[in-house]
Each structure stands twice: as structure tokens, then as C-alpha cells.
Amino acid sequence: MTKRTTVEAAELMLGHEIKALDHGFVIPIDYMGSDNDVVQAARTSFGPSGRPIHDDRGLIRYLLRHRHTTPFEMLEVKFLCRMPIFVARQWIRHRTANVNEMSLRYAEPLEFFYVPDPATVSVQSKDNKQGRGEPLTGEAAAIVLDMFTDGQHEDMARYRRLADEFGLAKELARAVLPVSLYTQWVWKIDLHNLMHFLGLRLDAHAQYEIRVFAEAMAQFVRAWAPLSWEAFEDYRLHAASLSRQELHALRLMLRRGYVDPASAALAAGLRARELDEFCSKVAKCLSSDPEGLPPLSLDIEGESPGTRGTP
């Protein structure tokens, strides 16, 4: 019997491996708090005689919608994760967690290397300096995958020779190992900062390899704090923020009959990437909803279809 807050769905996931990539995983090993602790932390602001406020779900949604972050910092989770080193180097940029990583100064290499799934082997994007473009297929894809595995085996053999035959110190011999080698760490973070991490790394523009780990952690968060997760999906993950210029473009569309988002964006002073991003937000709004709702219409009362000119 424990006096600490527990969540049955989260308890069932503790210690169980959530697979990620070919040899990676995320294992939830501990957590503190629940949705109820978010609510109680928020209500302490009113003191013991504070006036009644929203129900729990409504309060959590209000807090997240209005960016009241402290109540979500009262919840913490600890994961054991195994990932390729190049993923870890991206991941560690989120400096709001407590991390302890295995060290090859002391430990033996795991001898697991990341080899991409053929479906994810793509060329460099022509319009995104840090993204992928068209996938490689056929013989070219096979050659690339062979180069991955051949190079990894050669690097590990080179490490073994340095460490075993020459007795080189591990801290120096490790320098020949590639960033596709797997490492692992314990990662502890509060719910507010975890949601920030997930908001960035679940995005379609995030690198595939780290997005897989974000999806694995999201499975646990969904079970552990379902009301907070619901609010996060509604107000962060599947929402969009608008700049002042984008709001002006939206006004032009709604009040002055600009049916074409690009024309409205240009009239509002948006250019280049900002213009493209605004059009993408409008397209997302007008497309079919994942819940099965029909696509929205941009018919504007009193305006004929088409694109208006400059106001």
C-alpha cells in the first residue's frame, strides 16, 4: 500500500519497453503526480478559502490554454532510453531535464548500430538545409545501406583492436566509433518541459529518428496524465499560433473577401517563408479534420468567389 499518487494506466506501463527504431527503446521507470496534482497545485493560489472554480478538466484546459506552466511542473517522469548517439546529441539540446548517460570511458560499447529502414533513406532536401527530400530506391538504396553496415563493422573492429590488442584507454579508443552507435541514459523531466519537448519533436518537420522516441514517450504521457494530454493536443500539438501580420491577413480574408490566402498574406505584408507558413496554416484549417468532420468552406457572405485585389 502506498500513500503516493498513482495512476493505474501508468502503473501498468512502468518497466515495459516501448520499442523505437531498430535497437532503441523508451522505458518509463518512475513518475510523480497525476492530473489531480496539476489541479491541486493551481488551486493553492487561492488559499484554503478560495472561491470555487472550474471542474478539473476545465481548469487544466484553462491553465494550458493561458500558458500557466507552474502547475504542470509539479508532475515528473523518469525514462530509461536507448538511442543512437546522433539522436542523443539532438535530444540533449533540451536542457530542462536531469540526464545521466552511460560513459564509454568506463563501459563497453553496446555494439548496437542504427541502420535506417529502407523507407527512410532519402536524399538531401533541395529547399530545406536540414531535412530530407525524395527517397532513394532500388540499387542506390541497397548500396547506401551496405555502406552503413560495412562501415559500422569496420569501426567496431578498429575499436576492438585499439582497446584489446594495443590496450588503448577506452576514453581514447572510443573516438573511432560512429555516431550511429547506440547509447543510453536515464532522463527525468517535469510535465511542462516534457510537453514542450514533445511539441517540437512530434512535429512533422522534426527528424524522423527523434520523432520516433517522442512518439514512444507520448504513449506514456497519454496514459499518465490524460486530461493534460488532451489539453496539450488541443492547444499546442494540433493548434497554430498567428503573428500580428497573419491576423491581419486573416481579417482580410474574413472581412474583405480575400479567398486566396496568398493574396491576403501579400496584402498584409508577409513574404517568403512567412507567406508559405501562413498558407499552410490556412490549408490545415480547411482540410478534413482527423475526427471525421467535413472540410471547412471559405465562402464569404456578400462576396463573390475569387481573389480580390489590393484593398
Extract the C-alpha cell encoding 143.
548500396
Q: Which residues of 174-187 are buried (b: 16+ CB within 10 A; e: fewer)?
A: bebbbebbbbbbbb
The answer to whether 88 and 180 have CB atoms below 8 angstroms apart is no
Extract the C-alpha cell encoding 40.
491541486
Give the DSSP per-residue string, 80-113: EEEEEHHHHHHHTT-TTSEEEE--TTTSPP---B
For 119, counting Cβ atoms within 10 Å of its Cβ (0-12 exposed, 13-18 middle, 19+ buried), the class is exposed
Using DSSP, state whether 123 is helix, strand or coil. strand
Q: Active site residue: 201, 222, 255, 273, which one?
A: 201
CA quadruple 6, 12, 14, 19: dihedral positive or negative? Answer: negative
Q: Name the helix (H) or strand (E) containing 30.
A: strand 24-32
Q: Name the helix (H) or strand (E) containing 60.
A: helix 56-65
Q: Name the helix (H) or strand (E) containing 192.
A: helix 191-201
> What residue ranges in 234-275 does DSSP mark as E strands?
none
4 DSSP 8-state letter: S
Q: What are phi and psi of 298, to 5 degrees?
A: -105, 20
The answer to whether 108 and 78 have CB atoms below 8 angstroms apart is no
Active-site annotation holds for 201: yes
Return the active site residues. 201
